[in-house]
Amino acid sequence: MADQHSYESILESISGGFFALDTQYRITYWNKAAEAGTGLPASEILGKHVFEVFPNAEGALLGEKYKLAMESRTFQSCETAYKDERFDVWYDVRIYPAETGLSVFFQDITEKKTERRQKEMLVEISRAINGSKHLDELCIKAAEKISLLFEIPSKFVCIYLFDPRGNEIRLVAPALMEVEFPQDAVHQPVTEEASRLAARAAWSKRVILSDRMDEGTIGPLFREEIDALKLKTLIVMPLLVQDEVQGVIEVLTIKEKDFVQGELEVLSVVANDLAGGMSRKRLIDELRTKNIELEAQTQKTVEASETLKKFLATFSHELRSPLNSIIGFSELLTKQLGELPHETVEEFMKNINTSGRHLQQIINDILDLSKIEAGKMELHIASYPVDYFQESIERVLASAIAEKKIHLHFSFDPDIDELVVDQTRFKQILINLVSNAIKFSKGGGNVTVRSERIGNDLQFAVEDHGLGIKREDQAGLFRPFKQVKSGKEMNHEGIGLGLAITKKLVELHGGTIWVESEWGKGTTMVFRIPMVVDATSERTVQAGMLLEALERENKPRAEGEKPLALIIEDAPQASELLRLYIESAGYRVEVAQNGAEAVDMAKRLHPSVITLDLMLPVKDGWQVLKELKRHPLCKHIPVIIVSIADEKNLGFSLGAVDYFVKPVNKEDLIQSLDKVYLVRKSDTRKPTVLVIDDDRAATDLIQVILENEGYRVLKAYQGTDGVEMAAREHPDLIILDLIMPETSGFNVAYQLKQIPATRAIPIIILTSMDIDSETQEQLGAYVSGLMSKSTFTKKDLLREIGNIESARFH
């Protein structure tokens, strides 16, 4: 008995777990270390079959070892894991045959096993980092290794890369070709209000745990497989290097949320190494890109050196010719003005004016090309009537047309009455092409400007019937400083930049340009641009400020009183020239000579329009513009910037309604003043249209069309957002696409008709899908009109809206 007690004392004092089995595999002894290691008390264990207590051992390696030791009466050992929703433990098990059955010793080796797995995984991650050619490949390989660590399919490990330029995370792994991820999961803006956990983890830089699988990227796509694997917790961990986000990782585990500390420790070690690898790979990629750019830049420098030599030779000659005329004729006028007949003086003045304008055009071309090449020319996109461009061409080129007795014809597509372009640059494209056509046409010849719609693009053609261009000259036609030599009609003026600049401007609009010509039969210059020019949302908003400003109301004036213009300009000659221009447009004029005086006069006089120079004493023009737009008495006054500094983007963003680079053309300035003066005076509420469409280009086009017609436009890019906005804003009309992510247009239309607040709002369907008769019948109860996105025009849209308005009032 004493021996039995001594034996048990020894078994109770050892650090490892011990239990005994009889020949029927029933547990006959269970020491305290076994209780502590498994959390199972002896009172609940004794007498039970070992496979009843450890069901996962039956059929596994451990179960086979039990049977082999019992039947062969030989010592057996193995390392085995026990996993469930709470535990993840590794044991070193040693099985000894005994007279009464088996004696089993087991030691918890989880810590040692974890360390070994971490080391192995870090080695694998390092190999993936070093062996990957780019970041996307690194993420995919890392996801595969981490899935082995967590013993889950690799598709259940999501890795995102952070893009600091767009402030978003992009889903890279898993790369499932057969599965289409929602776009709002692939590209997630990193904001405090982000709806998805990955973006929220990137924003907060904290680990997020969730027991709701649908909150992850994979959960909604593989729900049945996740349930079958009994995965219970989603771990979302930001990948950080010195507190800077590199990406985010999402992993699923079978553990319950309160028991994932071990997984978090392992994953954090792996995440640190992965984040470091991402950071290094980014730096290597950036360095490689810089090296490629450096090589390209070196080549450009060599080419630029040759171009510069050619440019200086041409440029010096072209500058001297008009300068000689200006200096020569002005010197004669200065010394002999009283002796010369009036007709001679007038002829000299015309020569000076012509030479000055030619010199100005050369300088403008050089500046335009340098700005485009430097990537600093930005477009200000808005909607303009086609007639405006026709009038501009006829006005600017009137003298050239009259001199050669050219018959200029316009044949514009009647369905396209407005263009969404940069007004100044698009006008420059057309004037350059028409001007060239006139130069190379014979006296009394015809020049035709045509437009037509081709799919979702607009195509313009400028045709002349001159000598044409030889095939060998066509290849270099759009290169800088290249001039066509076509017999007597060669262009002896300019430095060969017109077509080079035109090509760059067309490409800035997202288009292409080419030449169609046959020697002896004439030339047609053709270019094509998208119906909606692709401008960033920021630029679109800034350019849209021009249209919004032109619609603001002016302060009512007494009948017969001229509107007041305030000129802010410190140079007396410049202010006097502006005064002459503006007074000829029917305005009274006041002049402020510095920034402080300007703000005070604007508050006191409340002019109808302000022209502003940016280079001012006391307070510069930018500060003046900011103060004017912040003051309640001045913020609605239209401001036209007239300055040497070409900063249109900044000017529009601060609220300017137009921007001219000195020297300003009189006709252009008066035209801008006319727009300000002829704003609408209606006090009635603008009708509101809600556009629900995930296609941003389509919504931008509709917004430009409708806002120009006096509508207020709201936009929603998802169906659920659109329903909420409709219920909140009560728009007069809804324009709805049928194909959208998450919620289809059919479902949105149905929901809108079920909500009392939105039930009566008419709906126009604008979609790219083919609408068959069955679908039309299905939609009939919910919508008021149908249009195809691929073929609709402004007239179609306004006609549909007009039909709805007519139906309401009749």
Residue 546: per-residue pLDDT = 32
Residue 552: per-residue pLDDT = 36
Q: What is the pLDDT of residues 230-276, one digit of tens each?
A: 888 899 999 999 889 999 999 988 888 887 887 788 788 888 888 88
Residue 84: per-residue pLDDT = 59
Q: What percent of the chain has pLDDT over 70?
A: 78
Higher pLDDT, 657 or 582: 582
- Local confidence band at 47 (pLDDT 50, 70, 90 cut-offs): very high
Residue 25 has pLDDT above 90, yes or no: yes
Residue 330 has pLDDT above 80, yes or no: yes
Residue 536: per-residue pLDDT = 42
- 522 forms beta bridges with 518
Residue 675 has pLDDT above 80, yes or no: no
- 160 forms beta bridges with 171, 248
- Dihedral of CA atoms 110, 112, 115, 116 in degrees, nearest 10, equals -110
Residue 455: per-residue pLDDT = 78
Q: What is the pLDDT of residues 143-166, one digit of tens each?
A: 888 888 788 888 888 999 998 888
Residue 445 has pLDDT above 60, yes or no: yes
Higher pLDDT, 650 or 323: 323
Tell me the backbone φ, ψ of residue 246, rounded to 5 degrees: -100, -30
Query: CA 520, CA 774: separation in Å to the nearest integer?
Result: 58
Query: CA 414, CA 386: separation in Å to the nearest integer?
Result: 10
Higher pLDDT, 204 or 111: 204
Residue 308: per-residue pLDDT = 67
- Local confidence band at 30 (pLDDT 50, 70, 90 cut-offs): very high
Report the sign of the C-alpha dihedral through residues 203, 209, 215, 216, in that order: positive
CA 351 to chain centre: 50
Residue 696: per-residue pLDDT = 80
* Coil/strand/helix, residue 464: strand
Spatial contact of 743 and 719, defined as CB atoms under 8 Å apart: yes
Higher pLDDT, 361 or 173: 173
Higher pLDDT, 84 or 623: 623
The DSSP line for 566-594 is EEE-S-HHHHHHHHHHHHHTT-EEEEE-S
Strands of the 101-108 sheet, one edge to the other: 27-30, 17-22, 101-108, 88-98, 76-83
Strands of the 158-163 sheet, one edge to the other: 187-189, 168-173, 158-163, 244-253, 233-241, 208-210
Residue 708 has pLDDT above 50, yes or no: yes
Residue 780: per-residue pLDDT = 55
- Local confidence band at 804 (pLDDT 50, 70, 90 cut-offs): low
* Coil/strand/helix, residue 797: helix
Residue 413 has pLDDT above 90, yes or no: no
Q: What is the pLDDT of residues 561-578, one digit of tens each?
A: 788 889 999 888 888 888
Residue 29: per-residue pLDDT = 92
Tell me the backbone φ, ψ of residue 624, rounded to 5 degrees: -60, -45
Average pLDDT on 274-284 reads 84
- Local confidence band at 527 (pLDDT 50, 70, 90 cut-offs): very high
Residue 238: per-residue pLDDT = 94
Residue 681: per-residue pLDDT = 37
114 HSE (CA, 13 A, CB side): 17
Of 107-111, 115-119, 142-146, 233-237, highest mean pLDDT: 233-237
State the DSSP code for 532: B
Q: What is the pLDDT of residues 69-89, one digit of tens each?
A: 999 999 999 988 766 565 667
Tell me the backbone φ, ψ of residue 217, rounded to 5 degrees: -75, -40
266-270, long-range: CB < 8 A, 24+ apart = 266/114, 266/117, 266/118, 266/121, 266/149, 267/146, 267/235, 267/237, 268/237, 269/118, 269/122, 270/118, 270/121, 270/122, 270/125, 270/146, 270/149
Higher pLDDT, 349 or 560: 349
Average pLDDT, the chain: 78
Query: CA 321, CA 529: separation in Å to the nearest integer?
Result: 37
Q: What is the pLDDT of residues 352-389, one digit of tens each?
A: 887 777 677 777 777 766 776 666 677 777 777 888 88
Residue 559: per-residue pLDDT = 54
What are the residues whose beta carbons fall under 8 Å from the beta carbon of 245, sequence distance 6 or more? 162, 190, 202, 205, 238, 239
Residue 550: per-residue pLDDT = 34
- Local confidence band at 349 (pLDDT 50, 70, 90 cut-offs): confident
Residue 207: per-residue pLDDT = 93
Residue with the two structure tokens 């079920």:
754
Higher pLDDT, 118 or 587: 587
Residue 439 has pLDDT above 80, yes or no: yes
Query: CA 768, CA 748: separation in Å to the nearest integer?
Result: 17
Spatial contact of 137 and 171, defined as CB atoms under 8 Å apart: no
568, 656, 660: which is closest to 615 by C-alpha?
568
* Coil/strand/helix, residue 531: coil
What is the bridge-based pairing of β-strands 101-108 and 158-163? unpaired
Spatial contact of 779 and 765, defined as CB atoms under 8 Å apart: yes
Residue 410: per-residue pLDDT = 92
Residue 803: per-residue pLDDT = 59
- Local confidence band at 679 (pLDDT 50, 70, 90 cut-offs): very low
Burial group, residue 449, by CB count within 10 angstroms (0-12, 13-18, 19+): buried
- Local confidence band at 795 (pLDDT 50, 70, 90 cut-offs): low
Q: How many CB atoms lie within 10 A of CB 269?
A: 17
Spatial contact of 363 and 398, defined as CB atoms under 8 Å apart: no
The DSSP line for 712-765 is EEEEESSHHHHHHHHHHH--SEEEE-S--SSS-HHHHHHHHHHSTTTTTS-EEE
C-alpha distances (whole Å) from 180 to each of 141, 221, 523, 538 are 20, 9, 49, 30
Higher pLDDT, 82 or 45: 45
- Local confidence band at 463 (pLDDT 50, 70, 90 cut-offs): very high
Residue 335 has pLDDT above 90, yes or no: no
